[in-house]
């Protein structure tokens, strides 16, 4: 509902201890418009480029004596 529409506003003040809660109720002459339809988001799948496997030498054991 647009705030520019003519409507009746009623404010109710409720006391809760030392705090006041103000509740506004707005009654409009026309019903609110229906909510917009949900947005459908399509994800475009981009092809992923797989990295080339890098040849790896086996790990060397530093504690083993090399002969």
**Vertex 5 angle, CA 2 and 37, to 5°:** 35
Q: What is the pLDDT of residue 67?
A: 60
Output the six-digit token pair for 11: 């404010």
Q: What is the pLDDT of residue 7?
A: 53
Does the predicted model carry a pTM greater than 0.75?
no
For the chain, residues with pLDDT lower than 50 are 1-2
In Å, the largest CA–CA distance within the chain is 96
Q: What is the pLDDT of residue 1?
A: 46
CA distance 15 to 12: 10
Question: Where are the domains positioned within the chain?
Answer: 1-28
Query: How many residues can be counted in the chain?
Result: 67
Q: What is the pLDDT of residue 39?
A: 78
């Amino acid at each position: 509902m647009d705030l520019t529409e003519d409507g009746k506003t009623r404010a109710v003040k409720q006391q809760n201890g030392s705090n006041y809660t103000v509740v506004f109720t707005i009654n409009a002459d026309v019903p609110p418009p229906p909510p917009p339809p949900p947005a459908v988001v399509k994800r475009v799948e981009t092809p992923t480029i797989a990295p080339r496997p890098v040849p790896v030498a086996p790990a060397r054991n530093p504690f083993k004596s090399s002969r």
